[in-house]
Amino acid sequence: MLIVRWLALFLLIAAAVCFGFYVGTGQVFYKRLGLVIVKWTVIAAAVFFVVVFFERLL
């Protein structure tokens, strides 16, 4: 559980850094990369919570 929390925090910080680079440089690449990181972080979190939910049911 602790590893998942640290990984999620790291990915969100990486996305924030990408958005900061986008603001600083104006290159669209960094904005797209930040959005991809956020998208996959949210998907991974949703899968994680579904697994935890089903684990609690059983």
The residue range of the domain holding 29 is 2-57
**In sequence order, what are the residues at sequence separation of 6 or more whose Cβ sits closer than 8 angstroms to the Cβ of residue 16?**
34
| Residue 35, pLDDT score | 97
Q: What is the mean pLDDT of residues 29-56?
A: 94
pLDDT tens column, 16-25 = 999 999 999 9
- Give the pLDDT of residue 58: 86
Give ∠ CA 40-43-48 in degrees, rounded to 5: 125
Number of domains in the chain: 1
Is residue 1 predicted with pLDDT exceeding 80?
no
- Reply yes or no on whether the pLDDT at 42 is more than 90: yes
Q: How far apart are CA 38 and CA 56, in angstroms?
A: 27
- Which pLDDT score, from 0 to 100, does residue 10 have? 95
Distances (CA, A) of 42 to 36, 46, 54: 10, 6, 18
DSSP 3-state percent helix, strand, coil across the chain (nearest 5): 95, 0, 5
Model confidence, pTM: 0.84
